[in-house]
Chain A
Amino acid sequence: MTEFLQQLLNGLSLGAIYALIALGYTMVYGVLRFINFAHSDVFMVGAYIGYYAGQHLPVGTLGGGLLVLLAAMAGCSLLGMAIERLAYRRLRGAPTLNVLITAIGVSLFLESAGQAVFGAAPRTFPMVFPVRNLRFAGLAVSSNQLVVIAVAILLMIALQLIVFRTRIGTAMRAVSLNPRAAQLVGVNLNVVISFTFGLGSALAGAGGVLYALNYPSIDPLMGVMPGMKAFVAAVLGGVGNIPGAALGGLILGTVETFVNGSQWSTYKDAIAFAILIGILLFRPAGLLGRAVPEKV
């Protein structure tokens, strides 16, 4: 039982990170209807910003750690908006395939540029938050895990408030529902899309720092696997659905942790894809999504 709870805790802290990344996929899909492949590399850049910020900021305290987190979020937010401005905006209205290929191109560019700039060798992420290992009812809990879960929950609440309680959030939902009608009532499409990319990328940046806290070896390709799994999480919860992405992330993180702890651990990278294929075949709209019939 303790073993089970321990794995559940580990799974939830991993799942919280997946959820943060998945939110970015879901929001971009919501407004633009395409999969932003480069999102997983924005996550990687977030970890590197955290790495460099951690060397220049007074870290090791809760405040310092939060400062690093904010730096990564701000940096990634700018990166996300730049990507949208330079690559995706010109392709608005182009066939899906062209946008998809561009997204793959941007992703490859960030990875290879990352290898050229940061070096391909892994680096050790600094301990930006004070580390304390707690024991609680037989469970080993690291303070980093608690930070991850707390930050993830706070960010998700903030996101929910932005999307449902602010003007720009209302505009985002309007664009997601019907871009043309939204424009007709005076929504500035460019601003909304830019904002969506900024918001989603900020969450990915936070995810990058949090991931690096628990898995402190970072390299330019670190985003690929978590990114794909987060995407699976987004599909699992229903692409375009914000609570769904959070739920999907938690489920996926937990499942993966349990598989990793079992005799099937070598298959842990395959399980996410198996889930993806299963969900697309049996419930393509996702757990919380609504099926939309295709118009002819």
Chain B
Amino acid sequence: MPKPLLALALALLVALAVSHFGDRIDPYFLDVLIGVGINITLAVSLNLVNGYTGQFSLGHAGFMSVGAYASAAITVLLGPRLLGDSGGTTVQQGWLFFAALLAGGAGAALAGLIVGIPSLRLKGDYLALVTLGFGEIIRVVFQNVDALGGALGLNGIPNYTTVFWVYATVAVTVFTVVCLVRSTYGRGFLATRDDEIAAESVGLNTTRYKIAAFVIAAFFAGIAGGLYGHFKLTITPTGFDFTKSIEIVVMVILGGMGNTPGVILAAILLTVLPEFLRPVEQYRMIVYSLLLIGLMLLRPQGLFNLNFGALVGRSRRRAALPPASAQPPAA
């Protein structure tokens, strides 16, 4: 078995084991653990777009909301019909949840495709704004769909999310993103980021790469949204606004754009830290914003962009190229 696949299988096993002993673990700790996992999924998937492909998207929360609503619609509206009055067995519920998550991911991927095709013709600031705009449009649309609860949100979502589902998703997301950018095909993402014109001139279809990155990222954001909905049991359109997108972006930037281990660390840190900062909750966003500004001024390559390979004694053979920010500015 190749090493990455082995790692994936191992991660799934660990997730299953932790989930199995879930009853004996402190529920508060489990909640934090689930929150961390969902944020890792979001950050790692966004990193494919913002980090590896170099396209700045500010609409990740919008795709998350599509996934959350699509999967919740299936379990809430279709679930009772499929499982009957008894609510079904645990296994049946598991399959339903699995299908709902996939549907959520597919819905978000479709949204990503619809958003991506027109907006990825734009660059930099404009792309950021258009993705932000689409995120807001998605929110306004959900506020106006009465079948999904409108502005009040959707309630009574069954509590299906467990540590297993969350960390299985994390494992699959990290596996997909890491293997993708290391593959021959995936080098195109890095090429698109590093020099679009050069990439075009050697025959890469950069538009296709950008859209692929966008759709894949949206897919995992949608699944994360489904997990989030079945964890919080209530979703409102305003829960997926601009601020949520920014939160994910901060994780990616803090971890170092195009650096998956760093982004995972940042996602963990930024999910656990607010738990300790609860007494000074109102200052959390001040800290966030200063962190952003400070990082850009002092350490634009991200806080955790260390050379992990060198740290554990291996050679400097790294998949990640220097981040785009390390490039000299374009003339």
Chains A and B are bound partners? yes
Interface residues of A (CB under 8 A from B): 34-35, 87, 90-91, 93-102, 104-109, 111-113, 115-116, 120, 224, 228, 231, 235, 266-267, 269-270, 272-274, 276-277, 280-281, 284, 296
Residue of A with least CB distance to B138: A270
Residue of A with least CB distance to B56: A97
Q: Is B203's CB within 8 Å of the partner chain A?
A: no
| Residue contacts A-B, CB under 8 angstroms, 19 given | A34-B125, A35-B129, A87-B293, A87-B297, A90-B297, A100-B128, A101-B253, A102-B296, A109-B293, A112-B286, A112-B288, A228-B129, A228-B132, A228-B133, A231-B129, A274-B137, A276-B133, A277-B130, A281-B121
Interface residues of B (CB under 8 A from A): 54, 56, 118-119, 121-122, 124-126, 128-130, 132-134, 136-137, 140-141, 143-144, 197, 242, 246, 249, 253, 282-286, 288-293, 296-297, 300, 324-325, 327, 329-330
A102 touches B293 (CB 8 A): yes
Residues from chain B with Cβ under 8 Å of A277 in the complex:
118-119, 130, 133-134
Residues from chain A with Cβ under 8 Å of B144 in the complex:
266-267
Residue of B with least CB distance to A120: B282
B54, B56, B137, B288 interface centre (most CB from chain A within 10 Å): B137
A50 to B137, CA, bound (A): 32
Residues from chain B with Cβ under 8 Å of A273 in the complex:
133-134, 136-137
B134 touches A95 (CB 8 A): no
A129 to B128, CA, bound (A): 39
A97 touches B325 (CB 8 A): yes
A296 to B199, CA, bound (A): 13
Residues from chain A with Cβ under 8 Å of B137 in the complex:
270, 273-274
B133 touches A109 (CB 8 A): no
User: Quick one: given A98-B300, A276-B130, are A269 and B293 in contact (CB under 8 Å)?
Assistant: no
A100 touches B290 (CB 8 A): no
- From DSSP, what is the main secondary structure of chain A's interface residues? helix
A100 touches B56 (CB 8 A): yes
A90 to B296, CA, bound (A): 10
Residues from chain A with Cβ under 8 Å of B296 in the complex:
91, 94, 98-99, 101-102, 105
User: Quick one: given A102-B297, A277-B133, are A284 and B122 in contact (CB under 8 Å)?
Assistant: yes
Pick the contact of B124 from A94, A96, A120, A276 — CB < 8 Å?
A: A96
Pick the contact of A101 from B129, B136, B292 — CB < 8 Å?
A: B292
A87, A100, A101, A277 interface centre (most CB from chain B within 10 Å): A101
Min distance, Cβ B236 to any Cβ of chain A, angstroms = 15
A224 touches B329 (CB 8 A): no
A29 to B122, CA, bound (A): 16
- From DSSP, what is the main secondary structure of chain B's interface residues? helix
B124 touches A100 (CB 8 A): yes
Interface contacts beyond A95-B330, A112-B284, A273-B137: sample of 12 additional A-B pairs, CB < 8 Å, sorted by A = A87-B297, A94-B296, A97-B325, A105-B293, A112-B289, A228-B129, A235-B129, A267-B140, A267-B144, A270-B137, A277-B134, A284-B122
Top-9 shortest CB links A-B: A105-B292, A273-B133, A112-B285, A108-B289, A109-B289, A105-B293, A270-B140, A102-B296, A112-B286
A18 to B175, CA, bound (A): 47
Residues from chain A with Cβ under 8 Å of B290 in the complex:
105, 109
Residues from chain A with Cβ under 8 Å of B253 in the complex:
101
Min distance, Cβ A85 to any Cβ of chain B, angstroms = 13
A266 touches B197 (CB 8 A): no
Residues from chain A with Cβ under 8 Å of B286 in the complex:
109, 112-113, 116
Residues from chain B with Cβ under 8 Å of A106 in the complex:
289, 293
Residues from chain A with Cβ under 8 Å of B129 in the complex:
35, 228, 231, 235, 276
Residue of A with least CB distance to B136: A273
Residues from chain B with Cβ under 8 Å of A94 in the complex:
296, 300, 325, 329
A182 to B189, CA, bound (A): 38
Min distance, Cβ A256 to any Cβ of chain B, angstroms = 13
A104 to B292, CA, bound (A): 8
